[in-house]
A and B are shown apart, each in its own frame.
Chain A
Amino acid sequence: MTVLADADDAVLVARALSSREPAAFGELVRRHQSRVRIFLLRLCRDASRADDLAQDCFLHAWDKLGDFRGDGSFAGWLLRIAWTTFLQHKRRDDRYRDVVELAAHETDTTGVAPVREELNDLDRLLGVLTEEERAVMILSYACGLSHREISDASGLPVGTVKSVIHRGKQKIRDRFEIENRQYG
């Protein structure tokens, strides 16, 4: 066990691939679970859902382990799988929500608008960003990834990552300046 704990990510990937034994992969999961779960938690804002997605992410990662070429960090590669897992589930949920909303609209005769959930500061902050901007900002500020690692995780070139962060910050600044002017 100590041997596994001391080995670096690339060695553990090689061991997991050569033996197809999940023990070495388990060490990789133990090492990276926090980052993956925090990323998904910040994206979907629901702890149990984030954990389900994280489990799916690691199972996909096991299936695709042979695709990891080692030219970037394992964390970046893993977070890319987490991001695509999140998007796939979101698309499925959106389709489901459309059907449910349509059904609710057809059966709702009261004319009462649905109650909006209370939004906290973080939700309002991230709410001004697009999905992609939100993911990049979370990877940078919540997960502490470098631009290069964010590029691995998002599939965007490093230059685009920088401009997405810049644009995201600008949007947040503009939004909060407007609010301060309105209420402050």
Chain B
Amino acid sequence: MTVTARSRPGYLYYPGCSLHSTATEYNESTQVLLGALGFTYEQVEDWNCCGATPAHATSDFLTLALPLRNLINAEKQVESWRVRAGDGDGASGAPAPGPGDGSGPPERVDVLVPCAACYNSFRLAERTVRDGGPQAEELNREMKEITGRAFGGSVGTRHPLDLLGSRDMLARVRSLVRKPLNGLKVACYYGCLLVRPSRIVSFEPDPEHPMAMDNFMAALGAEPVRWSYKTDCCGQSMSIAERELVTELTNRITRAAAAAGAQAIVTACPLCMMNLDSRQVPAEPGQPLLPVFFFTELAAVALGVGKPKAWFKRHLIDVGPALGVLEARESARTARTA
């Protein structure tokens, strides 16, 4: 039986808890962007929390077992696609979009994980089992006892930004831009979890100086600024328990962005968004706050897809000034051409 690439999705998708609560705008805009760029995906069924920082600060087992259950579910789901397509061994069907000719071992399918924290813990769990060794085998044996299956390594984890960095993809993005973000100066903020530990999570040639988001923003027409706080920590999950500390860390970042001339900060992490959006204070009384965007929201604006206005209502800091820059440019251009 022949199956076409169309008959099964190219990727799996794991939103995670933040994208279901504090950052639903990231969830919606990511899906809109993936759709606009032609990526197909299916949500991981019955996914659970990755455990985030509280898990790794509490138990080595918890921090690996929680994401592993999701990877195991993902693997089960991919197998069900193969069964559905009638190629039980996965060897005869057309591969999911991507390299490979469908022969040999089943194509590896990736789980797309937009939340930087979930992405980080998935990568660590995946890598731990892949690396093997007695402790990893013991862990996987326990996962089998708990879930009925061990993790076989046929699914991987990728961050959406990683998909967007290739030359071809950036060209495709450029060709799809309808309202370029011309004139908007953005500080691309990567934080910790997308880049460290680099050997496990980074997809950047230089993790101390990541560029994937900068290149993507440039493809949308925005002007990424050069600044030194791209990968500094915002204080992540300590926002509630250590408010003062997080306020200090957050404002060090936002002030550096403002000093570099940025009119907005762009992030790929719901925890960074939460801190930058909620713990930012004016540098001096009366000074405006820097709006913060998910990179996917600005992409949707530029591509003219989705419902950015509804998403922006959920931001604590008014994004109007940053969008105003775009509108002013736009009306100046229309005035010139008229």
Mutual binders A and B? no
Q: Which B residues have a C-beta under 8 Å from some C-beta of A?
A: none
